[in-house]
Structure 1
Amino acid sequence: MVFPMLYRTVPKSGDRLSALGFGCMRLPSKGRSVDEERAIRQIRHAIDSGVNYFDTAPVYHFGKSEQVLAKALEGGYREKIRIATKLPHWEVFEREDMDRILNGQLEILRTDHIDYYLLHSLAGKSFRIMKDLGVLEFLDAAKTDGRIIHAGFSFHGILDDFKNIVDAYDWDFCQIQYNYLDEKIQAGTEGLKYAAAKGLAVMIMEPLRGGNLAGRTPGSVEKIWAESPVKRSPAEWGLRWVWDHPEVTVVLSGMNDEAHIDENIRVAGEALPGSLTPDEQALIGRVRDEYRRLMKVGCTGCGYCMPCPAGVDIPGVFSSYNAHALFPHDPAGKFQYIGRHGGLMGEKTAAGLCRQCGKCAKACPQHLPIPSLMKEVSREMEGMMDIAVPVMKGGLWCINRAKRVKRFFLG
């Protein structure tokens, strides 16, 4: 069955993008690698169904994501879609690295331009470092020579830093984490509206908290969903909540199951902004409140505790810890914690850095015992982190080194 697709407009260019974007971070697996045949089939099916925005990055599947996407876009599919990929700031040490990485991505993706190019996973400190290295001039040059069409950034940090980054450059778009549990986490609703008011297209990642709001749900949450006279899956409720915001341009879904892809495509063809009724909004609000009741730490993500003198991303750490507490059987929770806070994708901001100074506790409107909670988070989330991060970094270094050697000998 063919479902219609809704499209939303990029404010600064008029580009029409499918409301549903295909996130290539969680492609189907086969053993320890990507099931390429199945992934290619899924990607092409999504394109044939009207999806025209595909988001990838060098770090996804340890370099395989961009390669598989390139294979899927053979045979005329490249001309039908927009590619979004990212510059990993943690691999940039000088201005020349930016051009080297981008040119390598163009080669891997078998294209002469990237439609939507992002600075990957920025926060305040990483953006300042990249800015000092000349990244804004790099973006200007790459846009001028046609290697990239639209410039943007993805963000994991606090609201004030998000606003500062938005104001620092003439961005075309940004990408933020947003779902009905994260209205006040990271950029949040205020950041969404701020960026949209500045004319940026806003792409949404983690609309279902890495699938955690779509799969197995706590029994008390299931009872609330069951009260609705309109029967929808938890995934559909979560996606509709995000699409209900007119400021949202594209909602990215890390799809790797054929039935889920078709469900998401169907919902994307129906979910107009403002289409949820007041009763439906209230129902989602009750689900949100129940999830928050089940969380271990009552952090609202306000950011009054920041900046931490020791460099801990306090709201981010608590958000990851709460997600792990809600979904303890999902191994991705600890992996994402290591990636975002353990130093794998930038500066280390983990709970273990806490010096127990107590400054954060004095500033917390919720009166949380933050220093003691940091010890708890560190014990639960960081057991093997100091070993895992160097190993993972070494693996990424080997992959990138192999690519350089290949380019050297093969041209």
Structure 2
Amino acid sequence: MEYRDFPNIKGSPSLLGFGLMRLPLNSDDPKDINYELGREMISRALDRGINYFDTAYMYHGYMSEIFVGEVLTKFPRDSFLLADKLPINSIDTLDQAKEIFAHQLEKCQVEFFDFYLLHSLHREAIDKVNRLGIYELLADYKAQGVIKNLGFSIHDTPDVVENFTLQHDWDMVQIQLNYVDWELQNAKRSYQFLAEQNIPVVVMEPVRGGSLANLPADCKEKLKEADSTVSAASWAIRFVASLSGVLTILSGMSNPEQLEDNLCTIEGAYQISQAESDLLDEVRKLYLSSGRIPCTDCQYCMPCPYGVNIPESFSVYNRYLDSDDGGKFCKEYVMLDKGQPDACTECRECEPKCPQKIKISEELKKPRSYYEHITAPGCNL
């Protein structure tokens, strides 16, 4: 395992980090974590040198931190670095921030956080941070030693990233970074700015919520032609690992196979050549032309007040685009039951919550319209 040292970082995080957002489950309920399998994966990760583990207040329906306390912290405290985050969107007062921070320490069963971040910032959330004096609170906690490294995670444009970075002193910044968003969301500019400021980058969504592991057929074919022995996900991990300003790469691993694949990638010769970079640029263009809805299944939009299963509605549609199997699409659409897109009232309550800035109410019309078309009288699948 590789460990990258940066001057201002306390500790040496592993290049591959374990995101505790997509842990193995016993059922479709995100709270129903498979503790036995999760414990085995944590143990395997530690044995192979992963020491950076990332959780957050609302992950797994507020159960991820409980998992940390009951599983991760049973291992020696000096064997892991724990990152947690303050849910700015759930806070209206400074006292609430203090209460949540104390509760997080209690749930995780730790006395300090190695890394602590303001979570999922955007313009409006930044205004709240500054208005309530939340940075000053966390800086005080850092001075007391209950936070070792302080940063923020953000889903917004590069100009917002740059402006907020310069407002305060930060040890690291977490951004969405992968070979698609390098251009699509101009993550390249955010990364280069942070590198110029000598602020290490924590990478989230390196495989874009799994979508870069499950590529459209033409994208898969291009990567297989280049190397048929490795997974599509490994190309995505290698892309971000090749960037010298990256501190750690967070991967939300849901099964032992994903863990092993990521470990093999990081432990191998991961540097991307210019020819391979050009190849990924071609794959990116094909991916963007596929018509996929760019959802990463982060679940921040849920629950919908009208019961729409937003992420799965998009997944059903995206799988159809990949397979062109209308019959399978209809079966999966019907299985959405009360979560079908036709329950959407276009209230748009979900849209400000979406890190990808998806116009959800508009995009939901795509699976709904196609289902209505394909099931119309006289239409042959």
- Which TM-score bucket, shorter chain as reference? 0.7 to 0.9
**Residue pairs, 1:388-403, within 5 angstroms:** none
- Partner residue in 1 for 2:363: 377
Give the 5 Å matches for 1:94-105.
94-105=93-104
Residues 178, 207 of structure 1: 8 Å contact kept:
yes
Correspondent of 1:233 among 231, 234, 254 = 231
Give the match's secondary structure for 2:202: strand
Q: Which residue of 2 aligns with 1:269?
A: 267
Query: Which runs of 5 or more structure 1 residues have no equivalent in the other structure?
Result: 299-320, 353-374, 384-411
Number of residue-to-residue matches in the alignment: 327
Distance 1:13 1:297, change over 3 A: closer
Write out aligned runs for 1:221-300 (5 A).
Answer: 221-229=219-227, 231-271=229-269, 275-295=271-291
CA shift in 2, pair 1:296/1:210, >3 Å: closer
Tell me what 2:40 maps to. Answer: 41
Offset, 1:351: 3.4
Query: Which residue in the other structure is 2:146 paired with?
Result: 147
Question: Matches of 1:80 and 1:238 in 2, distance apart?
Answer: 27
Letter in 1 for 2:234: E
**Counterpart-to-counterpart distance in 1, 2:364 and 2:161:** 26
| Aligned ranges 1:11-410 → 2 under 5 Å | 11-13=7-9, 15-31=11-27, 32=29, 33-186=32-185, 188-215=187-214, 217-229=215-227, 231-271=229-269, 275-295=271-291, 326-327=318-319, 341-344=350-353, 351=359, 376-377=362-363, 379-380=365-366
Secondary structure class of the residue paired with 2:127: helix
Given the superposition, is the C-alpha separation of residues 276 and 22 from structure 1 closer, same or farther in structure 2, using an over 3 Å criterion?
same
How far residue 133 of structure 1 moved from its aligned partner, in angstroms, is 0.4
In the superposition, relative to structure 1, how do residues 150 and 276 fare at CA in structure 2: closer, same or farther (>3 Å)? same
CA distance in 1, matches of 2:226, 2:204: 26
The structural deviation recorded for 1:350 is 6.5
Q: Is the partner of 2:203 in helix, strand or coil?
A: strand
Per-residue CA distance 1:23-58 (angstroms, 9 max, x = gap): 000000012211111111211210111001000001
Tell me the alpha carbon deviations over residues 125-167 of structure 1, each in whole angstroms, 9 at most, x when there is no partner: 2111111100111111111111111111111111111111111
**One-letter amino acid of the structure 2 residue matched with residue 276 of structure 1:** I
| Separation of aligned partners in 1, 2:357 and 2:286 | 29
- Structure 1 pair 96–47 and aligned structure 2 pair: CA distance change class (3 A): same
Structure 2 counterpart SS, 1:84: strand
Deviation for aligned residue 1:17: 1.1
The residue type equivalent to 1:102 in the other structure is F
Please give the secondary structure, in 2, of the residue aligned with 1:93: coil
Q: CA deviation at 1:97?
A: 1.3
Root mean square deviation of aligned Cα: 3.1
Q: Is the 8 A contact 2:178 2:240 kept in 1?
A: yes
Runs of 4+ displaced beyond 4 Å: 321-331, 338-341, 343-346, 380-383
Change (3 A) 1:324 1:342: farther
Aligned-partner Cα distance in 1 for 2:54–2:127: 25
| Alignment CA distance shift 1:382-1:91 (3 Å) | farther
CA-to-partner distance for each residue in 1:41-93, whole Å, 9 max, x for gaps?
21121011100100000110111111112222244333211100110012211
**Cα distance in 2 between the residues matched to 1:152 and 1:20:** 18
Amino acid in the other structure paired with 1:144: A
TM (norm. structure 1) is 0.72
Cα separation, 1, equivalents of 2:53 and 2:170 = 19
> Structure 1 CA distance, aligned partners of 2:244 and 2:289?
29
Deviation at residue 296 of structure 1 after TM alignment = 6.3
**Matches of 2:152 and 2:367, distance apart in 1:** 27
Structure 1 residues 118 and 235, CA gap change in structure 2 (3 angstroms): same
How big is the shift at 1:345? 7.7
Structure 1 residue 278: Cα displacement: 2.2
Judge conservation of contact 2:83–2:115 (CA < 8 Å) in 1: yes
The alpha-carbon distance between structure 1 residues 83 and 162, as it changes in their structure 2 partners (threshold 3 A), is same
> Displacement of 1:269 after TM fit?
1.7
What secondary structure sits across from 1:249 in the alignment?
Answer: strand
Range with greater deviation from structure 2 (38-47 or 185-194) = 185-194
Question: Structure 2: any 5+ residue segments left out of the alignment?
Answer: 295-312, 321-328, 342-346, 370-381
In percent, how many aligned pairs have the same letter?
30
Q: CA deviation at 1:293?
A: 2.0
The whole-number CA distance in structure 1 between the counterparts of 2:256 and 2:364 is 38
Q: Amino acid of the residue matched to residue 36 of structure 1? A: Y
Q: Secondary structure at the match of 1:50?
A: coil
How far residue 235 of structure 1 moved from its aligned partner, in angstroms, is: 0.8
